[in-house]
Amino acid sequence: MSETHDIVVIGAGMAGLACAAACAAAGRSVLVLDKGRGLGGRLATRRGDRARFDHGAQYATAKGQAFAAYLDHARASGHVQVWQLERDRPVWVGVPGMSGLVRPLAQGLEVRCGVTVTGLRDAGGVLALETAAGALTARQIVCAIPAPQAQVLLRDFEGIDALSRVRIAPCWAALIQLAAPRPEWRSARLENDVLAWAARNTAKPGRPAQPECWVLHARPDWSRANLERDGEAVADDMAAAWRVAMGDPGQIAALQAHRWRYSMTETALGQPFLPLAHGRVLVGGDWCLGARVEAAFDSGQAMAAALMG
């Protein structure tokens, strides 16, 4: 016999948790499912020994009052700190890793990680979900995953073809641990054929001062052209491009790569979410509004408002 729930949210990133938290605050019963091992989605940190690498989204900024208020709350609770990335340009990072940005939203929620939703259908009055852990039914569903994945999962729902206009670029990330510190080097946007960004992870607040850890993000076009290559070869090429851009980093103690198939929104949906099944299924994420963490938060808040309405 399948479990029955009021609202099931698929995806424990910023959009999914922003929606789930708002629904729970309004008194609704919410279950959150995520195929990953933890919260945050691309707000991710890889840990190894004492090393820390924020290999996904690097920081958040706030333009709107709602997200700014949330960041202030998250800072007061110790989950977020300000990183002075550039002169007069503070940004926000989660502590001790980037998933800190969503942890206040997850408090009090039932979140099941390591659960992949393999099927979703309208079963006449209820919505049926298939997972490796068993079957579930729900009155309403929020699907807060990348648009291409949502297209596959919801392929039988009328209106899902609207997601075909969304374009999300991939991104290769290189994770570099140096044998000796380079405190004179700062995080920087790079202008070469391979790299777009080099972040000194060690310089972020709440991170260990040792060892010296850097994260490189490749350009979208380069990532797309090299998407199916071996990760070790990609990491080597990215490290070589870093040397050209910034100079000799000294001995590299560890080097690895991570591939994000869906990273940065290039063409957004143009609305906060896509309603399906007469509003019983809502599909959203940062890709609805843009390539920022705040866009994911705004999408989640909008979906919650629609569910409450």
Chain Cα centroid distance, residue 290: 13
Q: Given pLDDT bands bounded at 50, 70 and 90, which one contains residue 88?
A: low
Residue 238 has pLDDT above 80, yes or no: yes
Average pLDDT score, the chain: 95
Give the residues across from 215 on adjacent strands.
175, 199
Q: Taking residues 139-164, what's their average pLDDT?
A: 97
pLDDT value of residue 1: 52
Structure tokens at 63: 């333009």
pLDDT value of residue 89: 75
Distance between CA atoms of residues 199 and 213, nearest Å: 9
Residue 50 has pLDDT above 90, yes or no: no
Q: Dump pLDDT digits (tens) for 180-207.
A: 998 899 999 998 999 999 999 999 999 9
Structure tokens at 68: 């700014």
The amino acid that residue 28 corresponds to is: R
Q: Dump pLDDT digits (tens) for 95-113.
A: 999 999 999 999 999 999 9
45 touches 54 (CB < 8 A): yes
127 touches 140 (CB < 8 A): yes
Q: Taking residues 284-297, what's their average pLDDT?
A: 98
Contacts of 151 (CB under 8 A, 6+ apart): 160, 163, 164
* 51-53/167-178 β-pairing: unpaired
Distance between CA atoms of residues 279 and 284, nearest Å: 13
Q: Dump pLDDT digits (tens) for 246-263.
A: 999 999 999 999 999 999
Structure tokens at 201: 């992870």
pLDDT value of residue 49: 80
pLDDT value of residue 87: 65
pLDDT value of residue 177: 97
Q: Dump pLDDT digits (tens) for 6-28.
A: 999 999 999 999 999 999 999 99
pTM reported for the whole predicted model: 0.96
- CA 297 → CA 54, 150, 240, distances in Å? 19, 18, 36
pLDDT value of residue 20: 98
Distance between CA atoms of residues 29 and 67, nearest Å: 24
pLDDT value of residue 86: 66
- Percentage, residues of the chain above pLDDT 70: 98
Chain Cα centroid distance, residue 199: 17
- CA 142 → CA 228, 268, 305, distances in Å? 31, 18, 12
